[in-house]
Amino acid sequence: MPKRVMEGKVISNACDKTVTVLVERRVTDALYKKVVRRSAKYAAHDPQNLCQMGDLVTIEETPRISKRKAWVVISGGTGTPQERRENTLPKEKEEKTAAGPKKSKKKSKAQPKAKRKAAVSETEAETAKVEGKKE
C-alpha cells in the first residue's frame, strides 16, 4: 500500500523534534452540495527541528514513532536555528543591542529627609488635636 502524502501548515513547534501540522481539504457536502473546508491536525516528526510556525510543509505517513506520531516531515522548513533567529530579530533591537544596554533612571519612592520630617510633624499635630478633643 502506498504511503499517504499531505501538505499543511505548521501551527506549533513547541515540542522537541515534533511539529503540529494543520491539513485543510475541500469537500462537497452530500446534502447541500456546498464546498466546505475540513481540517485535521497531525503530529509530525521533525528530526532536525527545522520547521517554524507558519511554514508550509509536506508530511508523509510512516510506521508509528510514538503514541501520537505516525507522520514525518519530508520537505519544507529549511534553515538553521541561528539563521532563523537573525531573520526574525527586528532591526531596531539589533541597533539597541549594538549600542549597549540603556541605563534607566528609576525614581526612588523614598522622600528626602526634610519632607519626611515635615510629614511626620503634620501627622503628630493632627493626632494631638484629635487626642485633645477626646479628653
Domain residues of the chain, as ranges? 5-91
Q: How many residues does the chain have?
A: 135
CA distances from 79 to 86, 87, 112 (A): 11, 10, 57
Buried residues in 1-32 as b, exposed as e (16+ CB within 10 A) = eeeeebebbbeebeeeebbbbebeeeeeeeee
Multiple choice CATH, 5-91, 1.20.120.420, 3.10.129.10, 3.30.565.10, 2.40.50.140: 2.40.50.140
Q: How does pLDDT run along the chain (135 residues), one tens digit per residue? A: 789 999 999 999 999 999 999 999 999 999 999 999 999 999 999 999 999 999 999 999 999 999 999 999 999 865 444 555 555 556 655 555 566 666 666 666 666 666 666 666 677 777 776 666 655
